[in-house]
Structure 1
């Protein structure tokens, strides 16, 4: 280590040690890095437990993270999280009552079953609905076989395979989906949910999907001018000051504070920001995205241990891009069963998933097309006018008999290129189990971690981010008030417990 680095480290840790000496008198101070759902949820739980000295550092100019409304053509549309997924089951998704009962945000049931009647040929016109339904039924039949297969897999994850391997096993897609229809339906079932293709997505940890199994299979699309992010402001309002519109405006939430270094030892932490400021505390909770942790935005001093770094890099940060297009007039069909339509291209994921907003925003003449993964990265790197031309060309192929005008406006979010996010949400890769998840959320000394990627069952979802904040706060609360260190479960603990149980039964 260079002498200058040693001196700088000594200086910041001295600040931490000086602050820590006051902790017993005033209670512990906790810095939370990030004002998204997990960060605000963490703060709420800490506050409820009696930890009152909180400071939240947010890199951007707003509270909300990946829940982000954007004014497009006079409408506030959601460029990030948009759905409450997991509604209608026996258990209640914790986000649903806030949306539907407390805030009463406008929301609409998403009729994904109607997709089979709206699959368009590459050269225009609809595929026969009965044929598409047969292919969809077969896809879901194989998906159910995959669910049964996971029940026989070792909980350690050592038997895990990809979703594509499962399809091959049941002779559904031995070489991957080949026809445009099979490819489009496969994309709709998997990529549209996980933002990555079946060949890289874990079967064991996504099938059955815990969100659907626990909370229900319905999805409610939030389309409210207050924005989906108003949920975060509501959660934070229990311990943070808000303005007349209910938005967080507390002096303990500092915006445009880009954290670049976190120095820590057994006495405390110092968080340094890009503007040269330094903040001392007893603990820090890092709620940045997995993509940021995988980048070099934040330097940890000393460097995080190998087991932590390895866990961070074992998980995928997927890219899910919602492209908004405005037209001078409507040319696409609307009405019952016409909310979603699919372009069955021979090129997987090429402007395939379309959504009409006629029900949510009548007369707005806005369409949403979703792309993911490599297509997202490709589109982020090209000018928007090129993307607009590509998307309109696809629509003209889908509707050859319609007079499809040029789009008057386009908005392309760039989650992957944005250094404060580096992607949309995490996806569970092959061969990773709860042991690695425990490592991912495990603290390193006085540095704690949270985020949707640390949710044991619901990574990638808004409710996962909310619950992860609560879970991570509880881990810190146990450390503060009970001096309990977080224990990472052994990789084969579940297996050992099962074996021991069978031995006990035999006796």
Structure 2
């Protein structure tokens, strides 16, 4: 019981995070029972199955399906259901916009992606690429490989060294050396996490390839920059990432020529939304209670209650809540409480917080910005009182790059660590230190201050509480499978979708899309099988 109470305790107090009319809606929680996982309550009695469950056409007209979340998973689920004739499908979105972590903003002379940015070329059915390809009248471009300068102590690094180390690192990202280490049975402690593995293998490469101390130092810093690039994908320190992330379910490294949408990736989401009627997609509806077991014979029904007091009855509920929200509020959102194995899966999986920063300038940046750059050991401040470097967020800058469709906007990619702290820094601090970093790397004290700044706030948003999921050192593929498992028998009452619920495409927009379609199809299959029976 002590373990269950620990699991159900929110990591962030809900009343201090969600201000959306919550004060007047506390009654949604006040009467909640001290819930516990009772396996007997997870199954419906056959006598409670509505009559239309035995008729496919009637189910298409009458089955009430509530989808929680209007991200790519939720909208894909709704579209799939509607395309198969299920008319009573409702999507509830907590924020005032749809799209989830696909979030395009007009900024300066271009569109900036605060979340997902690229679409990898993938010819499989129901992929995001297929959705993008079929979007009529939408401009698409292939991202060409861009030249990047590594700058060390205000000097450009030898590009031959950079190319060699970059090639070797990409091999490490595929887990190339892990199997060899396992076979030999030595240095197994280095497989505790991704960073330990990277450090061990990079040290071997450096000791073999370089003899000059200065070259060794530069090579080490190039590797560190690549480590930060890898961590920027997840928004977490690599010490927290399970080695399984790169061996069994590797991160798809940036393709040579991915697709991007100059007018914003959210146009892809618009393709899904346009088939929904106004009353089928409701925004500003943060969910407060999910009753996922009903007993119609007793006058009890499955339902989704929102913080504004609205209540929606349902026969099926597809939950696409972000992993961060589940981590904090799973213990009070669901009635009855989720089974223990699902709560453990939610706790075990990692949830990162990728940070994105964009700055815009009044005049074209080509006057002083000639090439994308990666600063090595270019912190802009130091603490001279004790001869120790001051902890500064600019040490975590991976790359400063010009957006391909812009003459005025730079993107600053962050990796390495303390993302939450960076997210909380005032805009004025960021502007000052970005300018100082640019002036130092370019060796031009006349680099102007930007006229605008745009940044992501995924972790501090109560509707997300983080970004991309990852395999933490305490999680495994089984946790993904447990999180994805539907609840309710014989009727699939509560279903889970989202990028954390699929092994193929885990943590990606493709994973989000296919997971939504998967759960929609699960409902369709249920009624189809009933029809056959």
TM-score interval for Structure 1 and Structure 2 normalised by the shorter chain: 0.7 to 0.9
Aligned residue pairs: how many? 446
Shift of the 477–169 alpha-carbon distance from structure 1 to 2, 3 Å rule, reads: farther
Q: 1:160 to 1:7 in 2, by over 3 A?
A: closer
Instruction: Return closer, same or farther for 1:84/1:150 CA change in 2, 3 Å cut-off.
Output: farther
What's the Cα RMSD here?
A: 3.6
Which consecutive unaligned segments of at least 5 residues does structure 1 have?
Answer: 154-158, 242-249, 485-507
Cα distance, 1:462 vs. partner?
1.2
- 1:349/1:375 contact within 8 Å kept: no
Matches within 5 A, 1:452-471: 452-471=499-518
- Given that 1:36 and 1:63 are in contact with CA atoms closer than 8 Å, whether structure 2 keeps it comes out as yes
CA distance in 2, matches of 1:74, 1:81: 19
Question: Are 1:191 and 2:225 matched, yes or no?
Answer: no
Classify 1:464/1:164 alpha carbon distance in 2 versus 1 (closer, same or farther; 3 Å): same
Report what 1:244 is aligned to: none
Stretches of structure 2 that go unaligned for 5 or more consecutive residues are 1-26, 36-40, 184-189, 207-215, 296-300, 380-393
> CA shift at 1:173, angstroms?
6.8
Shift of 1:469: 0.9
| Superposition deviation, residue 195 in structure 1 | 2.8
Alignment of 1:15-164 (within 5 A): 24=53, 26-73=61-108, 75-85=110-120, 87=121, 94-100=127-133, 102-103=135-136, 104-111=138-145, 114-115=147-148, 118-121=149-152, 123-143=153-173, 146=176, 149=179, 161-164=192-195
CA distance in 2, matches of 1:145, 1:22: 53
- Asked whether the equivalents of residues 355 and 419 of structure 2 are also in contact (C-alpha less than 8 Å), the reply is yes
Cα distance in 1 for partners of 2:312, 2:471 equals 34
Q: What's the CA shift for 1:472?
A: 2.0
- The residue number in structure 2 matching 1:324 is 358
Secondary structure class of the residue paired with 1:296: helix
Task: Tell me how far apart the structure 2 counterparts of residues 437 and 151 of structure 1 sit (CA, whole Å).
Answer: 26
Does structure 2 retain, via aligned residues, the 8 Å contact 1:61–1:255?
yes
SS in 2 for 1:352: strand
For the residues of structure 2 that align with 1:184 and 1:4, how far apart are their CA atoms? 49
Judging changes above 3 Å, is the alpha-carbon distance between structure 1 residues 173 and 105 closer, same or farther for their aligned structure 2 residues?
farther
CA distance in structure 2 between the partners assigned to 1:296 and 1:406 by the alignment:
41
The whole-number CA distance in structure 2 between the counterparts of 1:477 and 1:404 is 59
The answer on whether the counterparts of 1:109 and 1:221 sit within 8 Å (CA) in structure 2 is yes
Listed one character per residue, the Cα deviations across residues 87-110 of structure 1 (whole Å, up to 9, x for unaligned) are 2x7868822243345343333314
Stretch deviating more after TM superposition (202-211 or 416-425): 202-211
Distance 1:284 1:196, change over 3 A: same
Change (3 A) 1:211 1:97: farther
Given that residues 448 and 476 in structure 1 are in contact (C-alpha distance below 8 angstroms), is that contact kept between their aligned partners in structure 2? no
TM-score (norm 2): 0.74
Match of 2:529 among 462, 473, 482: 482
Q: Is the 8 A contact 2:245 2:251 kept in 1?
A: no
SS of structure 2 residue aligned to 1:165: helix
Q: Deviations over 1:45-102 (max 9, x none)?
A: 22334432111111111221111122223543221111113x2x78688222433453
TM-score, normalised to structure 1, is: 0.78
What residue in structure 2 maps to residue 314 of structure 1?
A: 348
Q: 1:168 to 1:386 in 2, by over 3 A?
A: closer
Give the conservation status (yes or no) of the 8 Å contact 2:235–2:419. Answer: no
CA shift for structure 1 position 4? 6.8
Aligned partners of 1:201 and 1:219: how far apart in 2?
Answer: 27
Give the equivalent residue in structure 2 for 1:369. Answer: 412
Per residue, is there more helix in 1 or in 2? Answer: 2
> Which has the higher mean CA deviation after the structures are superposed, 310-319 or 264-273?
264-273
Kindly state the Cα deviation for residue 353 of structure 1 after the two structures are TM-superposed: 1.7
Quick check: 1:230 aligned with 2:267?
A: yes
SS at 1:167 equivalent: helix
Partner of 2:388: none
* Structure-2 residue corresponding to 1:501: none
